[in-house]
Structure 1
Amino acid sequence: MEKIKMVAARIKTLREIAGKSIPDTAKLLEVTDEQYSKYENGQSDIPISFLYAASRVFNVELTAILTGEEPRLHRYSVVRKGTGPSVERKKEYTYSDLAYNFIHKKMEVFEVKAGQTMPKTLNKHTGQEFNFILEGTLKIIIENNEIILNEGDSIFFDSGHAHAMCATGGRDARFLAVII
């Protein structure tokens, strides 16, 4: 919970630096004023899709929102196993940023651990997404479509369509997510 409050404080600071009101920012991020306020005050779980959109609105690297530090590497970036900054989304997802220290990325790359509980709401964000299943079985909902992916399977989709995922088969799943 402490991480969520730190991330929320960074979002608030970015909004204030940009000189934007809560209603203006909420509109840009396509959420209600009430939901935005909950995110900014650390009173609600913050979806990675929201953080990604906020990074675009405030013109900062996602890493700056997640860690409070700007990435500096520009030739290559190595992230050792288990060292990428992570964001936990309740029981549903844990995201580990696999390219957090590379500046001016054209995509975001995460190792995601998905629990067996389907989120209550579907998320959407601009761009495209690629998921490659590393372990387990993953059920993905995209709008009204349900897709089951097994280890070694992949999916590429327009992430502007509402989507969510959860593990099935009695164990959590782990997958690589690339957001473009």
Structure 2
Amino acid sequence: MKKNLGEKIKQFREFRQISREDLALNANLDITQLEEIEEKAAFPSLGHLIKISRALGVRIGTFLDDQDQVGPVIVKAGEEKKSHSFSTKDESTREHLNFFSLAQDKAGRHMEPFIVEIEPSKESDYKLSTHEGEEFIYVLEGSIEINYGKELYRINKGDTIYLDSVVAHNVHAAGKQPAKILAVVYTPV
């Protein structure tokens, strides 16, 4: 039986003998958020998942992996695995991000490459997140905007951006059209 993300987090937390309260504190989460994730299969935002993985001392892929292939992993065009969808419960304030993992089967990786489909938002109240690491984004289709600190960058098809994830940021579709990006997230363990 395949475990959901919350079950995996709970399993690692208990194995490391860390209380739910301590993990919530170390990951800068509210205890009720962590309880929702572990017990009710609520899916955290990418930023929260990164903070949980850092607080547990594991790479983010530990929770997203299905298999543990040691050698190279090849993903043929059109065979990307839909891994997860990261969004907040409040659909009015943030667009929906659909992540397709390009290395879900690779064990021991330090980077997380994704194809991300970004649906446009109804509102412009974008929630900024911050986590350790770096991100590289290449726009495949459409245009995106990135709130990065106090700046706003518009990145169009064919453009790239490399940013430090410790700076508060948000990636969203520019305007009312969807976008598709290649995103590579690096988080140190």
Scaled by the length of structure 1, the TM-score of the pair is 0.84
Shift of 1:93: 0.5
Select 1:102's aligned residue among 96, 103, 106: 106
8 A Cα contact 1:112 1:174, kept in partner: yes
One-letter amino acid of the counterpart of residue 147, structure 2: I
Shift of 1:119: 6.5
- 2:111 matches 1:113: no
One-letter amino acid of the counterpart of residue 58, structure 1: L
> Using the alignment, how far apart are the partners of 1:59 and 1:26 within structure 2?
14
Q: Deviations over 1:40-83 (max 9, x none)?
A: 2336441122223333443445344125x342232x11123243
Shift of 1:172: 0.6
One-letter amino acid of the counterpart of residue 96, structure 1: F
Q: Which runs of 5+ in 1 are unaligned?
A: none
Equivalent positions of 1:3-18 (< 5 A) are 6-18=4-16
The percent identity for this pair of structures is 27
Match of 1:175 in 2: 181
> Using the alignment, how far apart are the partners of 2:11 and 2:169 within structure 1?
29
Report the secondary structure of 2:81's partner residue.
coil
Give RMSD over aligned pairs.
Answer: 2.3
Q: How many residue pairs end up in the alignment?
A: 175
> Using the alignment, how far apart are the partners of 1:163 and 1:141 within structure 2?
5
Structure 1 residue runs of 4 or more that deviate by more than 6 Å after TM superposition: none
Shift of 1:112: 0.9
> Using the alignment, how far apart are the partners of 2:59 and 2:8 within structure 1?
12
Select 2:50's aligned residue among 49, 52, 59: 52
One-letter amino acid of the counterpart of residue 136, structure 2: F
8 A Cα contact 1:64 1:70, kept in partner: no
8 A Cα contact 1:29 1:50, kept in partner: yes
> Using the alignment, how far apart are the partners of 2:53 and 2:67 within structure 1?
12
Q: Which runs of 5+ in 2 are unaligned?
A: 88-94
Match of 2:75 in 1: 79
Q: Deviations over 1:16-44 (max 9, x none)?
A: 22211112111221222232223223364
Scaled by the length of structure 2, the TM-score of the pair is 0.81
- 2:162 matches 1:156: yes
> Using the alignment, how far apart are the partners of 2:9 and 2:47 within structure 1?
14
